[in-house]
Homo-oligomer: A and B are copies of this chain.
Amino acid sequence: MEDKAQIQEAIKIQGEVVRKLKSEKASKEQIDEEVAKLLELKAQLGGDDGKHQFVLKTAKGTRDYNPKQMAIREKVFNTIIGCFKRHGAETIDTPVFELKETLTGKYGEDSKLIYDLKDQGGELLSLRYDLTVPFARYLAMNKITNIKRYHIAKVYRRDNPAMTRGRYREFYQCDFDIAGQYDAMIPDAECLKIVYEILSELDLGDFRIKVNDRRILDGMFAVCGVPDDKFRTICSTVDKLDKMAWEDVKKEMVNEKGLSEEAADQIGEYVSMQGGMDLAERLLQDQKMSQSKQACAGLSDIKQLFSYLQLFQVTDKVVFDLSLARGLDYYTGIIYEAVLTQAGVAPVTNDNQQGANTEENVSVGSVAGGGRYDGLVGMFDPKGRKVPCVGVSIGIERIFSIMEQKAELSAERVRTTEVQVMVASAQKNLLEERLRLVTELWNAGIKAEVMYKKSPKLLSQLQHCEESGIPLVAILGEQELKDGVVKLRDVATREEFDISRAELIAEIRRRTSEA
């Protein structure tokens, strides 16, 4: 516990910080953060009434999901899991934290974004940064050499959150991977088929899947005269081509990374190329490119891949794009990324401060990505035994954002429950009868609700149905009880009719079966 005077001093300083930020017109996000710290300090001190004041918020970069968001989330998951299951995938789960050591050396520069747990005695632990490294750890630990699995779970990155664009510090990943020694490009093609199916089914608008190969990139760098030790850094500059113009990318290569202008221009020529199997064939004949054995291996695989994609009927959306260069260190072969091409369904981008895309026709960002990583599992195996893997990660948070936006714009209300019928009463003192009836319905598997009041008003019971989209009301009154019937009301049409208790359950099922 800190001393009271110390806290008061800290409050004074923090107050200055907030005032300064406000006077400097800092971003709302920044000010909010400092205000939260101030409130926290004040809370430590306690209010005048001695009552502890809480800061009522979730941790920075995280959010609650309310019932409406959960309903949308469930729908999206059902579509995606349905596709994974159609392709015969099993599922696994791993703990939310791993030994710190398990994550060490897997993420390059991004390692600084890993959340560590406090050392409270015992092992040093970190929150998982993605699902791929735990998957590789799982395979090595259990000596599994082939599996087709999906894993949907939250991962954690101490990144600068941009929540308006669907970027959080806690977010879902949704991964499908095929591990095992198989004939080239068959599992790789299935991953692309899966992306195609999911994006089509979710109906997010038109999309494109860009494909490239790590070996083609490396070969290209070699034949363009990039020094070996600059491959990675030049690659990460190429990766910015989806957000920056070529001119700026070139400037970065030449001015910041010290590449010769000539080499940069040669790269510029290649990375502007897009096509299909034909482009791969052309590049295999390319005087320069064909000098690289690596590039040729990659190009042959791209050809093979497209032949399978034709059989899978997905070539209309797939494009071989030499500018695609995904960041992660562990990719060894094919890489791919899916982008939505309709600007209209983009996640809200109202953080102008960061100079976000303002053009109309830019791609609205990646909604899936992945590739082949044949070396990762071997990093965990004591004997270095390799298990070739290829996988795809669905950018589920961005998809949630888009679906939420669509739901906002749509006239249709999102239901957050599946209740089929409300057991109501127009008269007082019929609670027991309502409870008896709702028990009958529950026992028959009908989704039903009753108000937790002894004598609720009929109007408020009907209002609840309207608000939560419950389609039917079963109304009980003295007369109905005498006659052994229930008055069934259709909420949408307001039609009402009596039905015998014996027939009620079948009638409710009949009327709600299409829902």
Footprint of B on A, CB under 8 Å?
Answer: 33, 36-37, 40, 43, 51-60, 62-67, 70-71, 73-74, 85-99, 101-102, 105, 115-120, 122-123, 125, 127, 137-138, 140-142, 147, 149, 154, 156, 158, 170, 178, 180, 182-183, 186-187, 190, 193, 197, 308, 311-313, 379-380, 382, 384, 416-419, 431-432, 435-436, 439, 442-443, 445-449, 452-454
Contacts and interface: CB of A to CB of B under 8 A. Distances in A.
15 contacts: A40-B101, A58-B98, A63-B95, A65-B92, A65-B94, A67-B91, A96-B96, A96-B154, A116-B118, A183-B431, A186-B453, A190-B452, A311-B439, A312-B439, A313-B439
Contact of A452 (B90, B98, B186): B186
Contacts of A384: 51
Contacts of A43: 101
Contacts of A416: 90
Given A101-B40, A380-B54, A88 B170 contact: no
A117 B120 contact: no
A435 B120 contact: no
A190 B60 CA distance: 37
Contacts of A56: 137, 140-141, 380, 382
Given A53-B382, A382-B56, A97 B445 contact: no
Nearest to A147: B67
A419 B90 CA distance: 10
Contacts of A60: 122-123
A44 to B, nearest CB: 8
Contact of A88 (B59, B62, B447): B447
A417 B88 contact: yes
For A60, A186, A431, A453, which residue has the most chain B Cβ atoms within 10 angstroms?
A186
A163 to B, nearest CB: 12
Given A85-B418, A311-B435, A447-B86, A95 B59 contact: yes
9 closest A-B pairs by CB: A182-B452, A67-B90, A62-B95, A88-B449, A116-B118, A65-B93, A186-B452, A311-B435, A56-B141
